[in-house]
Amino acid sequence: KAGVTQTPRYLIKTRGQQVTLSCSPISGHRSVSWYQQTPGQGLQFLFEYFSETQRNKGNFPGRFSGRQFSNSRSEMNVSTLELGDSALYLCASSLASGGPGTDTQYFGPGTRLTVL
C-alpha cells in the first residue's frame, strides 16, 4: 500500500504571496492532519480533517486554512505569507474508523516551504 504523499516537496515563495500544499493519505484513511515543524517550536498542530469536515483546530491565525475532498485528499493554504511561515509542513493520515488502533497516524515526507 502506498504511503502518505505530499506535493510539492520543496517550495520557495516571497512575502505576501499565498501557497497551496497537497496531501494524499494512505488509501482508505479518512482523517488527515496537518502540522508545522520549525527548529524552535517543534511539531505544531494546524488542523485535522475527517470526512471533509474540520474536526480539530490548533492555534494558528486565519491565514492558515485547509480542506478535504471526498476522496480524502487534503489541501492546506497559507495566504499573505510571512518570513516566519518558513517551515516543514507535514501531513499525517489515519484510518479513524473508531476501532482500536485506527487513530494511529502515518506521516508523509513533508513540504519544505521557504519564504523570502
Partner 1 sequence: GQQLNQSPQSMFIQEGEDVSMNCTSSSIFNTWLWYKQDPGEGPVLLIALYKAGELTSNGRLTAQFGTTRKDSFLNISASIPSDVGIYFCAGHKTGNQFYFGTGTSLTVIP
Site of interaction with partner 1 (CB under 8 A) = 4, 6, 33, 42-45, 48, 55-56, 58-59, 88, 90, 92, 100-101, 103-110, 112
Q: How far is the CB of 47 from partner 1 (least distance, A)?
A: 9
The 3-state DSSP class for residue 2 equals coil
Q: How far is the CB of 50 from partner 1 (least distance, A)?
A: 9
What is the grid cell recorded at 42? 517543534
Report the DSSP beta bridge partners of residue 61.
Answer: none
Q: How far is the CB of 85 from partner 1 (least distance, A)?
A: 18
State which residue, 66 or 108, has the beta carbon closest to partner 1.
108
Residue type, 33: S
Question: In a 10 Å sphere around its CB, with 0-12 CB exposed, 13-18 middle and 19+ buried, how is residue 37 labelled?
Answer: middle
